A and B are shown apart, each in its own frame.
With several copies, the nearest count.
Chain A
Amino acid sequence: MPSKKKTKPDLSVDFAGIRLKNPVLTASGTFGYGEEFADIIDLNRLGGVIVKGISLKPITGNPPPRIWETPSGMLNAIGLENPGVDVFLRDKLPFLRNYDIAVLVNIFGYCLEDYVGVAERLDGVPGVSGLEVNISCPNVKAGGIVFGTDLKAAFELLSAVRKATRLPVIAKLSPNVTDITAFARTARDAGCDGLSLINTLLGMAIDIRSRRPRLANCTGGLSGPAIRPVAVRMVWQAAKAVDLPLIGMGGIMTHEDALEFILAGASAVAVGTANFVNPRATLDIIGGMEAFLVQEGIGSVRELVGKVCVA
């Protein structure tokens, strides 16, 4: 006899072989390595954490000012400050291993060899669930070519990373391109297991009195709810173009925003700038998503992936 009791909806997701208890991750660079948030929320309730970008060697980052608030968004030009992969493995990863959550390590470098180096160091390390390969930071250049905006460079880089690790490889795409689907296909062809999108839009703001850019770096990456419509559109386009699972992000503040991305075709979502505005945002989103599924009588969040009706 079928039970009439409302059963708890299933939020779990299998993402490129990584089991997530729910589809809500934290976006790279907006959650540190988890430590600071452990004071505020129960990390065990997250689907997973995508850590701040890690490079082979430590990077000190850009001079200040590094951030500027914009309408419903913010610009940042942190310059990928990070302690390097060795310190990450020694000091940061052990903390995250105390929790039963997926840990995706965001990696980047200044040249192909850097990327491969970090990927190799992380291969087989217990506690690392997968790699998110940042080919989309506006500040990472290779001989004048930005990996994330050149199809050939992206293909070579992602193929090389693919060979360097047995971990699931997720390519993080840049939105600053004419055709996101071309990059999605390139990442697939290079053997990636999934895609993350979007990274920040390249932006700029100027102080009209001093006539200087608001950021010492001149330009920076625009994030936050301002960019959400662009992000949803790109996730939708990429989902139609390739058969890979997607992590959708860009301006997610509420569970409704997160579900927009899932309907557009994302299997999981990442919450970025919202963590600054409301440090409980991830948990509020998980709770809201669960309530929504109950309310709509949907058994599993997986039933919603890509289910936007564009008749």
Chain B
Amino acid sequence: MPSNKLHRAKVLLHRPAGRGYYRLVLLAPGLAAAAAPGHFVMLRVSANLDPLLARPFGISSVIAKRSIELYYRVAGRGTTLLTAVEPGRTLDLLGPLGNGFPVPDRAATPLLVAGGSGFPPLLYFSSRYGKQARLFVGSRDKECLPPAAVMKDLRSRTKAVHYATEDGSRGACGFVTDTLAAYLARPAAGESPVIYACGPNAMLASVSRLAAEHSIPCYVSLEERMACGLGVCMGCSVSMKSGGYKRVCKEGPVFDSREIDWGGKTILQVGR
């Protein structure tokens, strides 16, 4: 029989995590066993026909090899509905999906760049490869940073955290790309940086430009609207520099930033 990606997962824990996020822990041993950093899941948020489609969420952690953890921000109808799900209920879940982040070279220094609600896959990444990594995290103001518990984990797992807020309420005043640029201008001695970025597309485009300027490898995790998450609907395609399209759910969500046609239209007009 086929290796099954379809799971009925029991909700083990579900509660507000602060700063507008919810933390959701789902029992799904098969999925947990196969999940790598950068993978995502498609979660059905309703048992009825509206909203119809499942929602994509990055895996932020695997717990005790049997459960996965998600962090989500309430963004619209689907996530609002999700907040009402009580522990003990089961949810339909598809995953792990996508290609995941490439494993960093032992000698490399991963620079994790998280903007907006892009931290979940990087949180998972940090649990595996955090010791060698630096985190660059940015948001509008300090209230929009990832939840405090997440920041604590990220701080303890990585060698350094570089904050940036647009209003200067935490760390440097400006964009996360400014602190990243400052670092890249004078990297710490002996570090050979590789960028792993997840966040809004405008940020990813800037990060990608910086990486190109400094000729360092850069992997970006993209978002696009999804229907199937499986690579069959061709709905989540993004433009490639080489012409044509690739599917975020299948060839992505992680791409070498040089592949992406950033010049095209906004890749995703978010939300409603």
Contact = CB atoms under 8 A, between A and B. Distances in A.
A35 to B, nearest CB: 8
Contacts of B1: 42
Interface in A199-225: 207, 210, 212, 214, 216, 224-225
A207 B6 contact: no
A163 interface: no
B81 interface: no
Interface range on chain A (Cβ under 8 Å from partner): 35 or more
A71 B244 CA distance: 30
Interface string B218-233: 0000001111111111
A273 B239 CA distance: 24
A218 to B, nearest CB: 13
Interface string A1-41: 00000000000000000000000000001111000111111
B245 to A, nearest CB: 6
Given A74-B53, A74-B227, A216-B265, A66 B237 contact: yes
Nearest to B53: A69
Given A38-B2, A40-B2, A78 B231 contact: no
Given A60-B243, A276-B233, A253 B49 contact: yes
B94 interface: yes
Interface string B145-181: 0000000000000000000000000000000000000
Contacts of A306: none
B234 A275 contact: no
B202 to A, nearest CB: 14
B228 A275 contact: yes
Interface of chain B, helix or strand or loop or mixed? Answer: loop
Contacts of B51: 69
B4 A64 contact: no
A164 to B, nearest CB: 27
Interface string B228-257: 111111111111000111000010000000
Interface residues of B, number: 41
Contacts of A78: 233-235
A65 B225 contact: yes
Interface stretch (A110-118, A165-173, A190-198, A277-285): A277-285
B44 interface: yes
A69 B229 CA distance: 14
A76 interface: yes
Given A69-B51, A207-B269, A277-B52, A32 B235 contact: no
Contacts of B92: 278
A276 B269 contact: no
Contact of B49 (A42, A81, A225): A225
A210 B266 CA distance: 12
A72 B225 contact: no
B232 A31 contact: yes
Contact of B2 (A41, A63, A68): A41
B54 interface: yes
Contact of A67 (B44, B94, B225): B225
A229 interface: no
A69 B238 contact: no
B186 interface: no
Contacts of B245: 60-61, 64, 81
Given A30-B233, A207-B269, 15 more contacts: A36-B230, A60-B245, A63-B264, A64-B224, A64-B268, A65-B225, A69-B51, A69-B53, A72-B50, A74-B227, A214-B269, A224-B52, A276-B53, A276-B54, A278-B44
Interface of A: 29-32, 36-42, 52, 60-61, 63-69, 71-74, 76, 78, 81, 207, 210, 212, 214, 216, 224-225, 253, 256, 273, 275-280
6 contacts: A29-B233, A37-B230, A68-B225, A216-B265, A225-B49, A276-B233
* A-B residue pairs, 9 tightest by C-beta: A67-B235, A32-B232, A276-B228, A72-B49, A71-B49, A276-B227, A60-B244, A78-B234, A36-B230
